[in-house]
Amino acid sequence: MMRHHTVFVFLLAAGFTASSCANGGEESRFKRDGKSLFYNFGGCSTCHRVNADKLVGPGLAGVSKIHSDAWLKKWLKFPEKTWEENDPETAEMRARLGEGKKSKPGMKLVREFSDEEIDALVDFMKTL
């Protein structure tokens, strides 16, 4: 009897460990998923809507047709640096949003994103 009980506890513990590992994997997969980054881990949706309506920042519907992939990647990696450099795409955005004279961008990211995360975010923006 005792023996069976021990085996049962062991299987329970093994199952539990396996499922916590699986959850860890899920979470990192979500962090590389553009939609999850946009709505959860990346904090974009606190400032942006996915339609044309302004929230804190402009609505992002069609944004991938306004900007090149290269610019979007640079903007998401270094908003302040991109703002200061003021290349033609940034200047167009600033003029369009009436922010030509501001010295700093309004976009403050929750953290720095990896290149992989940025690729996923750009892919997600192409669906908007």
Q: Does 109 bind ligand HEC (CB under 6 A)?
A: yes
Residue nearest ligand HEC, CB atom distance: 57
Q: Does 72 bind ligand HEC (CB under 6 A)?
A: yes
Q: Which of 11, 14, 56, 91 binds ligand HEC (CB under 6 A)?
A: 56
Which of 59, 35, 40 has its CA nearest to residue 121?
A: 35
Nearest distance in Å: CB 71, ligand HEC: 9
Amino acid type, 113:
F
Give the Cα separation of 9 and 98 in Å (integer).
Answer: 65
Q: How many residues bind ligand HEC (CB under 6 A)?
A: 24
DSSP state letter for 67 = S
When the beta carbons of 3 and 101 are compared against ligand HEC, the nearer one is 101
Q: Which of 26, 85, 99, 112 binds ligand HEC (CB under 6 A)?
A: 99
Give the Cα separation of 5 and 86 in Å (integer).
Answer: 69
Q: Which residues, 6 or more positions from 69, have their beta carbon under 8 angstroms from its beta carbon?
A: 122
With contact defined as beta carbons under 8 Å apart, do 82 and 74 qualify? Answer: yes
CB count within 10 Å of CB 54 equals 11
Q: Does 50 bind ligand HEC (CB under 6 A)?
A: no
Q: Which of 108, 115, 116, 126 binds ligand HEC (CB under 6 A)?
A: 108
Residues that bind ligand HEC (CB under 6 A): 42-44, 46-48, 56-58, 60, 63, 66-67, 72, 76, 93, 97, 99, 105-109, 121
